[in-house]
Every structure is written in C-alpha cells, then in structure tokens.
C-alpha cells in the first residue's frame, strides 16, 4: 500500500546513522467501543501519541509499554488473497491473556501498526520521553483487524488482516448468507420483503428464510439471501 509521508519522515529515512525507528501498536480491547492498549517493540516503555476512536494520532501523550514483540511482514500475493500480518506479544504476568479471555479473543477488533522514528515522539523530562523533534504526523500507520489468536503461558499471537471475507460479515443493512436477510432480521412481510403486500400472511404467517420458502410465496424477486455462498467452510470458534 502506498503511504504519504511527511518531509521529516523522508529525511529520517535517508539518514545513515543516529536513526532509531520504532514499531508501535495500538490494540483496541473493547468489543463495543474503544479501549486502546499501547505497546512498542522496545526494551523500554516510551511516551508516544494516543489514538482517538477513529484511529487518528492526537497531541495527547500516552505510554507505550515496551516489550520484545515479534511481528511478521505484511503478506499478499497476485492471486487476490487477503494480506496477512501477525504479532506476538509476551504474556507477561498473564495481562494480555486476561484481556483476550474476557473479550471473546478480540476477534474482529482493530489493531493499528504505527512506524515512527524516536526523534519524532514527544519530548519531556522523564526517562520514557525519547523524542527531540516532536511531530505526530511523521509516521506510517496500518489499520488491521484481528482474524484469530492463539496463546500459551509465554505469549499471545494475533493473526491480522486488513479486511475480512465478506461471508457472514454484517455490513450496513445486510448480511452475506444463504438465508434471507429480511426473514432473519424480523422483516418478513415488511417493505423490503413484500412491498406490494402480495404474500398471504394467513397462509404464510412465518418464514424460515430459505429460497424454497420464497418460491412457495412466488416472491423470489425479493429474496434477501445469497444462494451462491458456499455451504462448506472452515469455522473458527
């Protein structure tokens, strides 16, 4: 993915010495809102910029916890497979383990991968302030989603993707599934399902959302499902 970077970031890239790039992570630990956890791949914690709910870096300072985080390269191929990325966070004191256990393993939550040079982080008098020329705009940021994760007593590994397969993913007003969305969302006989009120509600008071049911009602033109969605798939629980 092409990234627009500032002149400051470009200048740091060209330096031959005294360059200290940092890979930083912001993990949303909330399934319904925004509860960020901040980490940095470093042997010490550093003060960086916090993100807001829309993923923009702000002027508000926050501490990124320093841990030896292992991260893979973002992968993609010419066959259209979804790019993937993985990060492994040490399970120190089982803190991250408790987070995923209480939040459905954070599947579907956002993770921001932020690359910055240490010079451009906030400056200050504490040992965690490592910046000398603060510039929150000088960064490269990727927004990814947690597709799955695994854990043991030593570490938690998150497998990330920049988007999900659309099968069974809720989008505004629709769900990609074989069954009719109108029936599954209690909109049977509603304006989306039967705008002309042509279905006899006495004969057909309910609907299970299958295409066969729609055929019995002569209403296949308004069928709200996607029959071409494969029946067989791998389900990760």
Handedness of CA 83, 89, 95, 101 (dihedral sign): positive
Q: Which pLDDT tens digit goes with each residue over 114-166?
A: 988 899 999 999 999 999 989 999 888 888 888 888 888 788 999 888 765 54
Q: Write the DSSP symbol of residue 203.
A: T
User: Is-contact 108 146, C-beta < 8 A?
Assistant: yes
More confidently predicted of 72 and 46: 46
> Rg (Cα) of the chain, in Å, rounded?
24
DSSP 88-140: EEE-GGGHHHHHHHTTGGGTT-EEEEEEEEGGGSPP-SSTT---SS--TTS-E
- Residues 61 and 172 grouped into a single domain: no
Question: Which structural domain, as residue segments, surrounds residue 213?
Answer: 168-227
208 in the same domain as 151? no
pLDDT value for 77? 55
Same domain, 156 and 176: no
Task: Say whether both 54 and 153 belong to one domain.
Answer: yes
The per-residue pLDDT for 185 is: 79
Contacts of 49 (CB under 8 A, 6+ apart): 57, 58, 59, 60, 61, 62, 121, 122, 136
Task: Give mean pLDDT, residues 167-193.
Answer: 74
Residue with tokens 């803190």: 95
Provide the terminal-to-terminal Cα distance of the chain, rounded to the nearest Å. 31
Q: Does 1 reside within a domain?
A: no
* pLDDT at site 94: 78
Residue in this structure with the two tokens 């390269």, named with its chain if needed: 73
| pLDDT for residue 214 | 92
* pLDDT tens track for 92-118: 777 888 888 777 788 889 999 998 889
For residues 128 and 210, membership in a common domain is answered with no
Note the pLDDT tens digit of each residue in 21-36: 899 999 999 888 999 9
Give me the number of domains the chain comprises.
2
β-partners of residue 38 are 26
143 three-state secondary structure: strand
Do 22 and 85 sit in the same domain of this protein? yes
pLDDT digits (tens, 9 = 90+) for 47-88: 999 999 999 999 999 999 999 998 876 655 555 555 677 899
- CA 218, CA 96: separation in Å to the nearest integer? 53
Assigned domain for 237 exists? no
Q: Which of 2-11, 158-167, 174-183 has the largest mean confidence? A: 174-183
**Ramachandran angles phi, psi of 46, nearest 5°:** -135, 155
Is 179 found in the same domain as 119?
no
Report if residue 16 sits inside a domain: yes
Residue 235 lies in a domain: no
């Amino acid at each position: 993915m092409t990234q627009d970077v500032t002149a400051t970031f470009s200048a740091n890239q060209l330096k031959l010495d005294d360059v200290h790039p940092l890979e930083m992570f912001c993990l949303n630990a909330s399934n319904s809102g925004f509860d960020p956890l901040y980490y940095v791949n470093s042997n010490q914690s550093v003060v960086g910029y916090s993100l807001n709910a829309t993923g923009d870096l702000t002027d508000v300072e926050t501490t990124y916890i320093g841990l030896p985080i292992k991260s893979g390269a973002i992968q993609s191929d010419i066959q259209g497979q979804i790019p993937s990325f993985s990060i492994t966070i040490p399970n120190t004191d089982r803190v991250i383990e408790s987070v995923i256990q209480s939040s459905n393993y954070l599947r579907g939550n956002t993770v921001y991968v932020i690359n910055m040079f240490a010079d451009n982080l906030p400056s200050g008098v504490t040992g965690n302030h490592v910046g000398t020329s603060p510039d929150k705009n000088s960064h490269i940021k990727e927004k990814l989603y947690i597709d799955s994760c695994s854990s043991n007593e030593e570490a938690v590994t998150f497998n990330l993707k920049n988007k999900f397969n659309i099968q069974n993913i809720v989008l505004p007003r629709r769900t990609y599934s074989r069954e009719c969305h109108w029936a599954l969302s209690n909109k049977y006989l509603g304006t989306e399902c039967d705008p002309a009120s042509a279905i006899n509600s006495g004969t057909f008071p309910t609907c299970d959302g299958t295409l066969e049911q729609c055929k019995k009602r002569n209403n296949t033109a308004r069928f709200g499902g996607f029959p071409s969605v494969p029946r067989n798939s791998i389900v990760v629980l």
